[in-house]
Amino acid sequence: MIPPHGPAIAPPTSVPMNPTTPPLVTRPARPRTALLVRAGLVVVAVGLAAVFAVAGWINPYGPDGAPKTMATHTQIGLAACNFLAATGRPCPSCGMTTSFALLVRGDVAASLRANWAGTVIGVLWAVALPWAIVSAARNRLIGVPRGRAELYLTVVVGVVLVLMIGRWVGVLLTWQQQ
C-alpha cells in the first residue's frame, strides 16, 4: 500500500571512495562571454575584414606609379576633405585611407609617409581581426583578464587618439601648401 503522502523515496546511497585514489580536483570554469559580446566580436571582425577589403580595392598609386599621400577615399564615393578645402591644411585623418591601402600592399614606407598613425592603426586592426575571431570562437576575450575589457578598450582608443592628434599637430607645424 502507498502511503497517503506519496511513495517512499530511498535516501541516496553513498559510493565508498577508494582511499588510494586522490580526490578529483577541478578548475573553476572560465566565465562565459555573453552572447551579445560574442556577436559584437563577430561584427568587429566582419567590419575590419571589410575595411581591409576596401583598402585592397582602392588604388593608392598615381598614374606615374608613385604612391599618393591622401585623397584615395574619393575612389569609394566619399567627398574630398572639407577641412582641407576650408583651411588649406589636412585634418587628423587625412591620408589614413591611403595609408591603409598602401599597408595592405606591403608598401610600409609609403604608408608611413601618407599617415604614420594610420599605419599604426592598420597594424593594430590587423592584430584585432584574428583576435576577435578567436575570442568569439573560444567564447572568451583572449588575453583580457575578467573585468578589464572596458579598461583595455579605453586605453587602446586613448592611445590611438593621442597618436592621431600628435601626428596632426606635427603635420600642421610643418605643412607647406601643396
Structural domain boundaries in the chain: 35-169
Full-model pTM: 0.75
Bigger pLDDT: 50 vs 88: 50
Separation in Å, CA 58 to CA 35, 44, 47, 69, 70 = 35, 21, 17, 13, 12
Name the DSSP class of 72. G
- pLDDT tens per residue, range 25-45: 666 655 555 888 889 999 999
Confidence of residue 6 (pLDDT cuts 50, 70, 90): low
Confidence of residue 3 (pLDDT cuts 50, 70, 90): low
* Residue 91 cell numbers, joined: 585634418
